[in-house]
Amino acid sequence: MHARFLALLLLALPAFAAPPAVSDVPEWRYTLRPGDTLIGVSARYLARPQDWPRLQRFNGIADPYRLVPGNALRIPLAWLRHEPAPAQVVAVSGDARVTLPGAVERPVAAGETLGAGAVLAAGANSSTTLRLADGSLLVLQPGAQLALDTLSVYAGGGMVDSRLRLQHGRIEVGANPRRAPGNRLQVITPSAVAAVRGTRFRVAADADATREETLEGAVGLAAAGREVRVDAGHGSLVAAGQSPQSPVALLHAPNLAELPRRIDTLPLRFVLPAQAGAVAWQGQIAPDAMFERILLEQANTAPHLSFSDLPDGHYTLRVRASDALGLHGMDAVHAFELDARPFAPLAVAPGARVRAPRPVLQWSPVVGADAYRVELGRDAGFAEPLLATRTTDSRQQPEKDLQPGAYYWRVASVDTDGPGPFMPPQRFVYDPLPGAPELAQAAPLFADGGLTLALPPPPAGLLYELVLSTDAGRREVVWQGTSADGQMRAARVERVDHYLAARLVETDGTAGPWATRVIEAPPAPRWPVLLLLLPLLL
């Protein structure tokens, strides 16, 4: 068998059944050295050294004193001297727990050792990394549960035998990194057994199937009487009770080149490129590229990922796409820095349209902020800010009247460590209110028991609102109405002094200031008196 071809047997099993052996007689192969004898080898490695004749017969050796150096001596595992080889907890993140035989569940801690019978469980956004006696690293992914069935070292350290039961979820394994001959690692799922001797691979288990993805080396995948070879970059699915499906190429690693290297807002949002054959995307965040501690995990059927919260710092994002079989593709990693604290405030006012020449810029207070940095400018880049100040209040007003047009403003929180990121630029347009109309030139005319008035035509898009009253406070209203052309006609108006109030109104009802003038009634004509005196004069 090729040196890089590694045995991986996935055999259909009922849930929690005892695992089948990788071969009929699990064995360790010892490479003979100059000077070795069967008696000497048996004394060093066998649980019963006096069983050397049995070992001679098992290997078909004619002369126990004439062994050929370099040849392999086959020794059944059951005959070897062995002792426990506990696993060491390398890293823990989030809600990771362990249940020891005869004990209650408790949090697991980095640095402790776990023997056979321990059951590990990782909660959401949590993980646990174990190092086995042969240096294999195993990362229990979020939501997974794993039992340590067998952890043994044989022949004085010459062989490590580890048997792990993945009850559900996913694990990632870097097995036997030193490529020591004879070491054995089995991962048992409710529907399969994975046995490897040195490779990088993933195994995922649920009630219906086991999925295996080979990242390095090659894996032999067997179940229900059929065996296939799964090379690096390929994966296969074994449904319960069925033979393995033909291996398929794993999806390529997503292209993360366009993702930002620095992020200053929360939640974290990553937009991924579309990928042929992908039906879902998985993302994980860890403090470094080793991914021994998984801080957050997210999956989505659309090519974008969102993560809720993290402390400021440097992180690595790992992304892979999955295909219609549920096989996870190759990994892509992206290092980024999060600098989102202190949090930027939320804009409160003004809105998109401003009518006052000195609008009030208002934002929500931020817990923990000592002050705020405020900027106002005519462009979103704030190249030449009109206002750049620091305040402890949650509102700020320009010191001078603004000119009509578009403006941008933003605010950043400031704490003892300095300013945080700015909020996204907020845009508003200063559109002044209509000015007070000019009433001095209006020529009133009392005639036919009414009043006629002609004002200058209003600007485009505006109309006049007019009120005629006998008092300056517009309480004793004689007539009121609107005019789109400046013409006014009020019927049944007594020939007495009146007050005319007028303002310009926009089509949406926004009105400018009132202007008021007194309309003096003209003196009564003298000809009726002359008519009374005319007979006397005659």
Per-residue pLDDT of the chain (538 residues; tens, 9 = 90+): 333 333 334 333 333 233 333 345 678 888 899 989 899 989 988 989 999 999 999 999 988 888 899 898 998 888 988 899 999 999 999 999 999 999 999 999 999 999 999 999 999 999 999 999 989 999 999 999 999 999 988 877 778 889 999 999 999 999 888 777 778 888 888 877 776 766 899 999 998 999 999 999 877 777 787 888 888 999 999 998 898 899 999 999 999 999 999 998 889 999 999 999 999 999 999 999 999 999 999 999 999 999 988 999 999 999 999 999 999 999 999 999 999 989 999 999 999 999 999 999 999 999 889 999 999 999 999 999 999 999 999 999 999 999 999 999 999 999 988 899 999 999 999 999 888 888 887 778 888 888 888 888 998 889 999 999 988 888 988 899 899 998 888 888 888 888 988 999 988 888 889 989 888 887 766 555 555 555 665 5
Pick the closest to residue 499 from 519, 479, 483 (CA basis): 519
CA–CA gap between residue 213 and residue 187 (Å, rounded): 13
Check if the beta carbon of residue 87 is closer than 8 Å to that of residue 148.
Answer: yes
Fold for 445-519, please state it.
Answer: Immunoglobulin-like (2.60.40)
Fold for 262-338, please state it.
Answer: Immunoglobulin-like (2.60.40)
Domain ranges of the chain: 5-19+82-245, 33-70, 262-338, 347-430, 445-519
CA–CA gap between residue 251 and residue 320 (Å, rounded): 8
Partner residues linked to 109 by β-bridges: none
Pick the closest to residue 140 from 16, 281, 294 (CA basis): 294
CA–CA gap between residue 54 and residue 76 (Å, rounded): 11
Residue with tokens 């009630």: 207
Record the tokens describing residue 173, joined without a space: 């394994």
Q: DSSP per residue over 319-375, as a string?
A: EEEE-TT--B---EEEEEEE---SPPPPEEE--SEE-SSSPPEEE---TT--EEEEE
Check if the beta carbon of residue 335 is closer than 8 Å to that of residue 321.
Answer: no
Residue 232 phi/psi, 5° resolution? -55, 140
Domain 262-338 and domain 445-519 have a common topology: yes
CA–CA gap between residue 190 and residue 209 (Å, rounded): 8
Q: How far is CA 491 from CA 173, 353, 466, in A?
A: 95, 40, 14
DSSP 531: H
Q: What percentage of the chain's residues is helix, strand, coil (to nearest 5)? A: 5, 45, 50
CA triple 12-126-250, angle to 5 deg: 50
Pick the closest to residue 283 from 261, 314, 315 (CA basis): 315
DSSP 84: E
pLDDT at residue number 531: 55
Contacts of 484 by beta carbon, 8 Å cutoff, 6+ apart: 458, 463, 464
Terminus-to-terminus CA distance in the chain, angstroms? 151
> What is the CATH class of 5-19+82-245?
mainly beta
pLDDT at residue number 533: 56
Pick the closest to residue 174 from 132, 129, 137 (CA basis): 137
Second CATH level (architecture) for the domain 347-430: Sandwich (2.60)
pTM higher than the cut 0.75: no
Check if the beta carbon of residue 495 is closer than 8 Å to that of residue 451.
Answer: no
Contacts of 405 by beta carbon, 8 Å cutoff, 6+ apart: 378, 429, 430
Pick the closest to residue 184 from 19, 411, 351 (CA basis): 19
CA–CA gap between residue 211 and residue 115 (Å, rounded): 27
Q: How far is CA 498 from CA 413, 454, 488, 490, in A?
A: 57, 16, 14, 12
pLDDT at residue number 224: 80
pLDDT at residue number 495: 84
